[in-house]
Amino acid sequence: MHMTHDPAALPADTIGFDQFLAVDIRVGTVVEALPFPEARKPAFKLLIDFGPAIGVKRSSAQITEHHGPEDLVGSQVAAVVNFPPRQIGPFMSEVLTLGFPDAEGKVVLIRPAKPVPNGERLF
């Protein structure tokens, strides 16, 4: 979620379906959302349950403008689960929680329209 918000951005280069499949995007339920005061930009430390095959993973997410701990806990989010872990200050972020920028570039999370089993893969 470190992309520059540019409404005139052109689509990315064409890729093969196998390249899409290489990015493992799963759904999980947020079980904990805590403030992350050590982060350079406002963020939450999330614990997300991706079901028995993947388990509970940690994510640092810059989503504080539209989302608060009270609406995050118990809600489902989408995340890339096969990037290498990334150290962010004192916190190890294991998955990249996904969202889209609003008109001001503030992140709005991607959420399924209806509940789905934790760990299901985007296709």
58-109 confidence digits (pLDDT tens):
999 999 999 999 999 999 999 999 999 999 989 999 999 999 999 999 999 9
121 found inside a domain: no
7 found inside a domain: no
Does the pTM exceed 0.85? yes
- Given a cut of 90, whether residue 6 has pLDDT beyond it is no
- Given a cut of 50, whether residue 1 has pLDDT beyond it is no
Distance CA 62, CA 113 (A): 22
Please report the pLDDT score of residue 8 as a whole number: 62
pLDDT over 70, % of the chain:
93
2 found inside a domain: no
C-beta of residue 81 within 8 angstroms of C-beta of residue 53: no
- What is the span of the domain harbouring residue 31? 21-109
Find residue 92's DSSP bridge partners: 87
72 found inside a domain: yes
28 found inside a domain: yes
Total domain count, the chain: 1
Residue with tokens 């005061």: 37
Residues 6+ apart with CB under 8 A from 45: 32, 33, 34, 35, 36, 58, 59, 60, 91
104 found inside a domain: yes
**Quick one: pLDDT band at residue 7, thresholds 50, 70, 90?**
low
